[in-house]
Each structure stands twice: as C-alpha cells, then as structure tokens.
Structure 1
Amino acid sequence: MIVPPASRSLWLLLFTLKGSIVSVIWKRVAAMMLLATAVVIAEHRLALDGTGLGAVPLTLVGLTLAIFLGFRNSVAYERWWEARTLWGELLIVVRNLTRQTLAFPDDLPDARRRELVHCLVAFAHALRHMLRGSDPAEDFAPWLAPDKAALLARSVNPPNVLLGHLGQAYAQLRREGRLDSMLTADIDGQLTRLSYIVGGCERIRSTPIPFAYILLLHRTVYIYCLLLPFCLVGSIG
C-alpha cells in the first residue's frame, strides 16, 4: 500500500509518479493523441466528408464503459479493504502474543522472551516480503540469528516456517511447566489466526480479477478512445 505524505501540495497531486499509472499508460495516451491529430488534419486539410460520427456512438459505448469501470473500481476497493483488514488483524494478534510472552511464562529467561518476540516481529516482515516478492534479508538481520535468517531466506513460505517455530517454542514452554494448558490453548489460537491471515493474503495476491472481465474492459476502453476523435471533430473541430 502506498501511503501519501501528510503534506499534499498541488505539485504532488498533479505531478507525482509514485502511485500513478502514468508510467504505464503514457505510450497508449501518446498513440491516441497522434490518432486525434491525424483525424483533425484529415478533416481540416483534406476536406473529407463524413469524418464526424456525432455523439451517438460515444453515448452508447460510454454507458457500457461506465458500467465496467464501476465494477472494476468496486472490486479493486473490496480487495484493498480486505487486505487492510487482514493486516490490521495481524498487528492486533502480534501485539497480543507479545504481551502474553512478556507477561505470563514463569521464570523464563529474558533472552528466550526476546527471541520469541523478535520472531513475531520477523513474521510481519516475512509476510510483507513474501507478498511483494522482495528480499527480506535486511529486515531479518536485526531480529533473527544469522542461521535462522538464512534458513528462512531459502524457504518458499517464510511466514509459515516462522509459525511452525513459534508453535514448537510455546509447546516447549508448556512441557517445561512455564505455561498452563489454558494459556497454551489461547496462544495456539492466536497462532492459528496468524495462519488464516497468511492464507487470506496469499489468496488476494494469487487471485487476480478474472481475465475475461479485464479483456472486456480493455476492449471497451480502446473502442471508446478510438471513436472519440471521430465523434468530436465534427462538433468542436
């Protein structure tokens, strides 16, 4: 998610490229501008009759385009909101587990408490990097031992590996008598929620909008843009 700066100047809103699709579509926009220029030249210099089509085609195609764009915007927002809800739940669960780890295990050395809390922090980084397809090594370094960080870097699903390690660590605390059975069950439930969060994020990442909808929308947009200069040249020149 791209977080905008707190100060939003007019220059930022109009000309920033981060989060904008200008870098993706500028070639297509330029092609449409060349087409419109060619239509205007043909209408004014070559004196072609029937160049203008009128507003009826734009009205018909524009109505269809509005429906498709509304659907696309609705789906995009639903996916964004579900992802934001999952990430917010992740923060809540990690904070709960951190509080329980620091408060409840009896006579647990501080080094082991820090190791468990650091694994929880590394879990958030691991999930973020797995979803983005980026290298997590830099974010793992402050929180994990080098051997564990290297093991996670080689893993296909680092968040799931960390969940397995955390489950075994809390189970060991239960076997040592540092956690009672009720608290262990509650902690296991929190870890299960983290597993559901990972699955939900993977579902959003690996399930794009159906290609048939994207194809239909793109074709409608191209038809509308191709008709635009022919429909407007007769009325506005």
Structure 2
Amino acid sequence: MIVRPRPHWLRLLFVRRGSLIRLILPQQLFTVGLACLVVLAHGQLFHWKVTLTASPFSLMGVSLAIFLGFRINASYDRYWEGRKLWGALLVDSRNLARQALTLTAPGTDVRPFVLGLAAFSAATRNQLRDQAPETGLAGLLPAEVLAQVTPRRGVPVAIALWLGGLMREWREQDRLVPQLAERMEQSLDQLMAALGGCERIANTPLPFTYSVILHRSVYGYCMLLPFGLVDTIGWMTPLVVAFVSYTFFALEALSDEIEQPFGLMPNDLALDALAAGIEASLREMLGEVPPPLPLPDADYQLR
C-alpha cells in the first residue's frame, strides 16, 4: 500500500510509483505507435480510407467512462470493505484482550491468550495472501500449539478454537464467571465473522465476463480513436491518443489491482503493517514494549 505525503503539484506530474505506468507501458506504446502510423498513412488502411469522425467517439467515450466508473466503484467497495474488516479485527482483538486482563480472576496467566489474538491476525494475513502458515507466528503461540495448528488448512480457525479452549479452562477453574465468558464469546464470534468476510472477498472475484467486456471495449476504443482524429487534428493525434489511452488503461489496471485488496500490489492493503499494529497494541496492553511498526511504504522518498 502506498502511503506518502502528497508531493508538490509539479512533482506529482512525474511520480512513477503509484502511477501504474509500468503496468500499462506496453499497450500505451502500442496505441501511440498505431496513432503515428495512422497519421503517416493519412487514415488509410490497405488503400482503404477509414471514414471515421470524432462524433461517434464522443458518445462511446461517455458510455465507456460510465462503464469504467462502475467497475472502479465495485472494486473500491471490495477494497474499503476489506479495510473495515481489518479494523474490526483490531477492535475485537483489543476488546478480548481487555476482557481477559480485567474480567479473569487475579493470578490468571492471560499472556498466551492475548498473544494468541495477535497470532490470529497474522494467520489471517497468511491465509489471505497464500503465505506459509507459520509466517510471523513464532513467539506468539506456544511451540506445541504452533505445531498443532500450522498443518491445518484453516490456521486462523484452529487458533480461534484454541482460544475458545483457554476460555473453557478458565470457566472450569472458576477463573472466569460464565456470564462474563459469554461476553468474551461474542467478541470471539465477531473475530470469526471478520475472518469470514475477508474470505468472502478473497474467494469471490468480480464476474470474469464483466472484465472481458470492459477490456475489449477499452482497447477497441483506443485503437480506433486515431482514425477518428487524424483528419481533424493531424499530427496532434498521437498526443491526444496518448492522453486518452493512459486514462482508460490506468483506470482499468487500477480496478484490477484493488479488486483483490489482500494481495501484494502497491495499491493493495498493507496487511503486514496492519497485523504488526494489532500485535503492537496487544503487547502494550500486556505492559510490554513492542517493536517499531513497519511503514506501509517506507521508501516513498526514494521514488
């Protein structure tokens, strides 16, 4: 995820990181090169004059912009919902840690439980990104528990089951009043609900047919545009085509990127920083000094 101060307006024109130019450069060069060839050929294709004007492209451009806007909104809804679910993970983890620290009987060792909440967030990140299940769990779970949960297909669910087992032991040992245990169970249920919401986003992409239609429309529009402009603006055609195609190609690439907000692309959610923030907050509640938090985009000054 790119997090950086907004640069000066002039420098913002030449920023590379976040501009998606690396992703769309090949098709951008292709369309500009095609526009140059159309200008050189005076709009002729194999001795046949392509009689197009700018009028149809005005109508097509409006429709295509609305189509792209809908796709961007659909992708951003998924992105923002993912961010809200991770915010819920933070809130519910803090609530459970606070309840464990204040509602259990004095002398109860709640440190494994609180660190287990941090392990739940780290395991959720690993599952969403298809990373190794043990990544970031060392030091958060007891060794025997780590060996039990990492072979599982759903590591976060296994960790939640272990946390529920600790709460059951506290009830059986009269270290947690049943009525208060019910409140903690509700917070644990909300953690599971957040996990399920993240899985729903990760496992249910936007319909593929929608992407195909939008992709074909954008490329068809940008490839035909030079024929509609060459008789009107002449040698300015490649410049206009470059600007229009950059807008459409970049919007399409951005919608594809944030459609899966839990990935590793520059504009995806900073799950490493979010998971580290949850761990730091929980360690502070235990009275420990957490390590420095990683920055989502620490090298922005070098770009």
User: Could you tell me the TM-score, scaled by structure 1's length?
Assistant: 0.88
Maintained 8 Å contact 2:38/2:227: yes
Which residue of structure 1 aligns with residue 76 of structure 2?
77
Which residue of structure 1 aligns with residue 41 of structure 2?
42
Maintained 8 Å contact 1:57/1:227: no
Picking from 130, 133, 149, the partner of 1:133 is 130
Instruction: Tell me: CA distance 1:11–1:150, structure 2 relative to 1, closer, same or farther (3 Å).
Output: farther
Which residue of structure 2 aligns with residue 90 of structure 1?
89
Separation in 2 of the partners of 1:91 and 1:78? 20
Separation in 2 of the partners of 1:45 and 1:197? 58
Maintained 8 Å contact 2:38/2:44: no
Separation in 2 of the partners of 1:138 and 1:229? 51
Separation in 1 of the partners of 2:201 and 2:147? 27
Structure 1 gap segments, 5+ residues each: none
Residue type of the alignment partner of 2:227: F
Separation in 1 of the partners of 2:84 and 2:91? 11
Which residue of structure 1 aligns with residue 207 of structure 2?
210
**Aligned 1:149-188 pairs, distance under 5 A:** 149-188=146-185
Separation in 2 of the partners of 1:12 and 1:173? 56
Per-residue deviation, 1:45: 10
Picking from 99, 114, 117, the partner of 1:120 is 117
Please identify, of 143-152 and 184-193, the stretch whose mean Cα deviation from structure 2 is larger: 143-152
Which residue of structure 2 aligns with residue 15 of structure 1?
15
More helix by share: 1
Separation in 1 of the partners of 2:185 and 2:97? 13
**Aligned 1:59-70 pairs, distance under 5 A:** 59-70=58-69
Which residue of structure 2 aligns with residue 190 of structure 1?
187
Which residue of structure 2 aligns with residue 24 of structure 1?
23
Maintained 8 Å contact 2:133/2:155: no
Instruction: Tell me: CA distance 1:44–1:61, structure 2 relative to 1, closer, same or farther (3 Å).
Output: closer
Please, what is the CA RMSD of the aligned residues?
Answer: 2.4
Deviations 1:162-185, CA, capped at 9 Å, x for gaps: 110101110110011001111111
Maintained 8 Å contact 2:43/2:231: no
Give the share of equivalent positions with the same residue, in percent.
38
Instruction: Tell me: CA distance 1:8–1:128, structure 2 relative to 1, closer, same or farther (3 Å).
Output: farther
Which residue of structure 1 aligns with residue 220 of structure 2?
223
Structure 2 gap segments, 5+ residues each: 235-303
Separation in 2 of the partners of 1:57 and 1:31? 22
Separation in 2 of the partners of 1:158 and 1:8? 41
Residue type of the alignment partner of 2:179: M
Maintained 8 Å contact 1:125/1:139: yes
Maintained 8 Å contact 1:93/1:190: yes
Instruction: Tell me: CA distance 1:3–1:99, structure 2 relative to 1, closer, same or farther (3 Å).
Output: farther
Maintained 8 Å contact 2:82/2:198: yes
Please identify, of 136-145 and 188-197, the stretch whose mean Cα deviation from structure 2 is larger: 136-145
Maintained 8 Å contact 1:170/1:184: yes
User: Could you tell me the TM-score, scaled by structure 2's length?
Assistant: 0.70
Q: Number of matched residues?
A: 233
Maintained 8 Å contact 2:50/2:227: yes
Maintained 8 Å contact 1:125/1:136: no
Residue type of the alignment partner of 1:128: R
Per-residue deviation, 1:102: 1.1
Which residue of structure 2 aligns with residue 103 of structure 1?
102
Instruction: Tell me: CA distance 1:28–1:146, structure 2 relative to 1, closer, same or farther (3 Å).
Output: farther
**SS where residue 134 of structure 1 aligns?**
coil
Please identify, of 75-84 and 150-159, the stretch whose mean Cα deviation from structure 2 is larger: 150-159
